[in-house]
Structure 1
Amino acid sequence: MRIALLEDEYEQAQHVQSMLSEHGHHCDSFPAGQSFLSAVLHRSYDLLILDWQIPDMTGIEVLENVRAQLDWSIPVVFLTQRDSEADIVRALDAGADDYLAKPAREAELVARINALARRINPDSEKELLRYGPFEVNTKRRIITLHGEELTLTDKDFDLTLFLFQNQGRLLTREMLLERVWGLARDINTRTVDTHMSRLRRRLGLNPENGFRIKTIYQRGYRLESMQTPEAETTDIVETDRAANE
């Protein structure tokens, strides 16, 4: 998992990063709330770990900003010295998924992170995945719609699988470039727009098939199920220029 850590004490941050790295996780550390928010709003992370007491704002304020600015439920864990019942309740009510008191105990921290990972991506090890009329074979790398195999490039397959595995989650162009293409986030993002336009056509993403890719103004994309309330959201939608070219 890619994890963002908010921790202003250097030695503590290094300790947590080392523990997570030993268990196969990648962890970036940030010493202040503003730098942390700037990173998580534009990069691709699977889980956030927050301290409560940091120099420029509180961990609760950081959490509230994350929940307000990102319309996807990225797991958030508090790791802090504050361990009163009132503090724990406040953090959980604000949208935290778990709460741990310092000092971090390696086995417990890793176990809780792994539990959250299983919750957010329960299909990660399955060979056959079904999403409405779509079936994804992750071993053979093919996708069928109503039993008919679709003609897709390798990158189309990777992008489609990532979209299905992150339904309802806002995916920025920078995030898609990083996670699907493995490219730096500061390159031209026209590549993403072109691929999204093509996927709309090739996958038949329409009400009949139960899904649509929604373009979120100046942000990125979200795959929505037409059978859920998410499909009724009222985000400002960009004109899909690539689809008309």
Structure 2
Amino acid sequence: MSIAVYIRNESFLDHVRRVLLRAGFKCEHFATEIAFMRGLRRSEFELILIDVPVEPSDDDAILSWLNCRPVDNTPVLVTSPLKNAFVAALYLNSGADDFLYRPFEPIEFIARTHALLRRVRRRSARTRIELAGFHLDREAARFQYRGEPIELTPREFSIAWLLFSSPGVFISRETISVTIWSTDSEVAGRTIEQHIYKLRKKLCLGPDRGVVLRTAYNQGYRLEVLDKPQDDEGLAG
């Protein structure tokens, strides 16, 4: 069985490799987020192992990937030296299947790995988002506003899912480029701007629909739900 491993700590990586090899697992290590995203697109794995060495920011690329990754049955195990319940809950709520503090005993690590593989068929990934009249269905790649379909390209839908899954949070261009294109922000920057421009037009985002898409030069893009959308006020009258 093959496991995708994204670990930045060399000593911990060596330890994990030895433990997994002794248990009969093959490991493919990815040293960067970009290589990790590309590897998951290129190959299939039985399990994904991610180590989190520091507290994530609101715009953490791995959290964004967990929130918008394609629906599949590949379980995700997150490890971390951070004894922080908030961090554990954050990754679990974003889509990770298990969270394990390190250091840990090899026997527990392998037992959790086997348990995740046994439960793989019972995985329940987030597949729908309802927000301010907008409806996103990831399994069908369908986007609607109050029942009316809106045609989006696959990448437009992926960006929309990323933004709608984290309202109120600035998503950086780097996070979008790594999550959607598996490349760095300099390469994808102009393409991202074009996709954001098309999304604004196709979704008619603005006060009339109660949802706006903010742009901040140093932060990225943020989907913002207005308190009193104008069309809702008109309907109420």
TM tier, smaller: 0.5 to 0.7
Higher relative contact order by CA 8 Å / sep ≥ 6: 1 or 2? Answer: 2
Which of residues 7, 10, 15 in structure 1 aligns to 2:9? 7
1:158-237 equivalence runs, <5 A = 158-183=158-183, 185-226=185-226
Percent identity of paired positions between Structure 1 and Structure 2 = 21
- Could you list the structure 1 runs, at least 4 aligned residues long, displaced by more than 6 angstroms after superposition: 16-19, 43-47, 112-115
Give the counterpart letter for 1:92 in structure 2. N
Residue 108 of structure 1: aligned partner: 112
The answer as to whether partners of 1:48 and 1:77 remain within 8 angstroms in 2 is: yes
Aligned Cα RMSD in Å? 4.6
- Structure 1: any 5+ residue segments left out of the alignment? 30-38, 51-58, 81-87, 228-245
Distance 1:173 1:79 in 2: 26
Deviation digits for residues 206-243 of structure 1 (CA, Å, limit 9, x no counterpart): 2443432222332322323335xxxxxxxxxxxxxxxx
The answer as to whether partners of 1:79 and 1:102 remain within 8 angstroms in 2 is: no
Q: Secondary structure at the match of 1:218?
A: coil
Residue 92 of structure 2: aligned partner: none
Cα deviation, residue 202, structure 1: 1.6
Deviation digits for residues 97-118 of structure 1 (CA, Å, limit 9, x no counterpart): 4524423412325768999xx9
Distance 1:94 1:131, change over 3 A: closer
Aligned residues: 185
Normalising by structure 2, we get a TM-score of 0.55
- Structure 2: any 5+ residue segments left out of the alignment? 41-47, 67-76, 90-98, 228-237
Cα deviation, residue 189, structure 1: 0.8
Distance 2:29 2:225 in 1: 31
Residue 84 of structure 2: aligned partner: 92
Normalising by structure 1, we get a TM-score of 0.53
The answer as to whether partners of 2:177 and 2:188 remain within 8 angstroms in 1 is: no
Distance 1:15 1:226 in 2: 52
